[in-house]
């Protein structure tokens, strides 16, 4: 009887549930807010980077590594640039996966997810390899601290993104999850992946290029 009441009043149209106008799902809303929070975490490290670079070092940057030779610290711009392209491309492949799902192509979805994860893993492996060959450590001046913290936290976020994509992949394969109408966890994971990508592009430009 209560249900009848609800239906009757709802049909009068003046009590539409507020806040659902945009139709955004709760899961996506949660991911958007979460990404906002993570963005602020990166903001705190970028703030540290900017202050160390402009406030203390007066943009004498990168700092001098060896006083005798005047050699400066040098982040590997070219190799990381190629790595950046891998990561950017992986954003397209994950978008492709979502797109194929909308058309009911589950094989396309699986392939897209696999390629994205492969590209992400490649990015991480290359980054770790670079860490080994960088020629400077986190203890090398404030530059090392800021550099490793920014790139390190980013790498952790890539790892988390890979885990989210893997979870989606497992749900697709084992639980036959997601339909063209509903794929919120996948959309959320994909949004997170895009976020990780955007942070990287910003980081690359600010730390490596400029």
Partner 1 sequence: MATHAPTHAHTEHGHGHHAPPKPLWYWWKRAIVWTISGAIAGIALVYFFRLVFGMDPLWQPQAYYAAITMFAGMGFVIGIGCFDWWWAYLRGKRVDFEDHSLHGAKSWRDYLRPNTDHKVIGIQYMVATFSFFVVGGLLAELVRLELAQPGMQFADAETYNGYFSAHATIMIFGFVIPSFAGLANYVLPVMIGAKDMAFPRLNALSFWLLLPAGVMLAVAPFVGSFSSGWTAYPPLSVQGTTGQTLFECAVQFAGASSIATALNFLVTIMTMRAPGMTVWRMPLLVWANATTSGLVVFGTPFIAGSQFMTFFDRVVGTNFFNAANGGDVIMYQHVFWFYSHPAVYIMMLPGFGIISEVVSTFARKPIFGYRAVAFSTVAIALLGFGVWAHHMFVSGMASWLRIPMMITTIVIAVPTGVKIFSWLGTIWNGKIHLKTPMIWALGFIFTFVIGGLSGVFLGTLTSDIALTDTYFVVAHIHYVFFGGSVFTIFAGTYYWFPKMTGKMYSETLGKWHFWLTFVGFNGTFFPQHWLGALGMPRRVADYDERFADMNLIVSISSLGMVIGTAIFFYNMIYSWKKGAPAPWNPWRGRSLEWLVSSPPSLFNFDAEPQVVGGPYQYGIPGARHAVVYAGDHLGGGELTETEKRTILVVANRTIASSGLLDQVRAKAAEGFWRFTLVVPAKGEDHRAAERRLQIALAVLAEAGIDASGTVEDLSPLEAVKRVQEEEPAHEIFLATLPLAESAWMRQDMVDRIRKASGLAVTRVTVLGDDARTAVRSGAVRRVAVIANDTIGDAGLVAALRSRADEQPLGVVILCPLSLDSPGCSDDADRARDEATVRTRALIEQLQDSGIQAAGEVVDGDPGAAAKIARTDYGVDTVLVASYRRSTGWVVGQVRAAVGDTAVEHVVVDTEAPAAPSGA
**What is the contact surface with partner 1 in residues (CB under 8 A)?**
1-3, 5-6, 9-10, 14-20, 26, 29-30, 33-34, 36-38, 40-41, 43-45, 47-48, 51-52, 55-57, 63, 138-146, 148-149, 167, 170-171, 173-175, 177
Of 37 and 181, the one with the shorter C-beta distance to partner 1 is 37
Of 105 and 140, the one with the shorter C-beta distance to partner 1 is 140
- Which H or E element spans position 106? helix 106-133
| Distance in angstroms (rounded) separating the CA atoms of residues 129 and 11 | 62
Shortest Å, Cβ 109 to partner 1: 15
Shortest Å, Cβ 172 to partner 1: 8
Shortest Å, Cβ 24 to partner 1: 8
Residue that the structure tokens 């950046």 belong to:
84
| Distance in angstroms (rounded) separating the CA atoms of residues 91 and 70 | 40
Of 99 and 171, the one with the shorter C-beta distance to partner 1 is 171
| Distance in angstroms (rounded) separating the CA atoms of residues 40 and 33 | 11
| Distance in angstroms (rounded) separating the CA atoms of residues 186 and 94 | 9
Token pair for residue 12? Answer: 């009068």
Of 17 and 78, the one with the shorter C-beta distance to partner 1 is 17
Shortest Å, Cβ 97 to partner 1: 17
Contact (Cβ atoms closer than 8 angstroms) between residue 8 and residue 165: no
Q: Report how far Cα 8 is from the mean position of its chain's Cα atoms.
A: 46
Shortest Å, Cβ 98 to partner 1: 19
Q: Tell whether omega for the bond before 194 is within 30 degrees of 0, i.e. cis.
A: no
Of 88 and 114, the one with the shorter C-beta distance to partner 1 is 114
């Amino acid at each position: 009887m209560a249900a009848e009441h609800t239906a009757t009043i709802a049909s009068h149209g003046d009590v539409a549930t507020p806040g659902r106008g945009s139709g955004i799902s709760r899961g996506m809303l949660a991911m958007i807010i979460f990404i906002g929070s993570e963005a602020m975490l990166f903001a705190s490290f970028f703030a540290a980077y900017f202050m160390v670079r402009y406030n203390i070092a007066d943009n004498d940057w990168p700092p001098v590594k060896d006083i005798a030779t005047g050699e400066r610290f040098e982040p590997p711009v070219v190799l990381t640039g190629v790595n950046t392209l891998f990561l950017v491309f992986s954003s397209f492949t994950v978008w492709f996966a979502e797109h194929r799902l909308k058309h009911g192509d589950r094989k396309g979805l699986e392939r897209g997810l696999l390629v994205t994860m492969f590209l992400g893993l490649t990015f991480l492996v290359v980054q770790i390899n670079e860490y080994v060959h960088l020629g400077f450590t986190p203890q090398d001046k404030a530059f090392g601290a800021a550099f490793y913290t920014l790139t390190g936290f980013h790498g952790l976020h890539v790892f988390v993104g890979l885990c989210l994509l893997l979870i989606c992949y497992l749900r697709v394969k084992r639980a036959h999850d997601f339909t063209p109408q509903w794929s919120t966890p996948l959309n959320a994971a994909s949004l997170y992946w895009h976020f990780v990508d955007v942070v990287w592009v910003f980081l690359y430009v600010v730390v490596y290029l400029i």
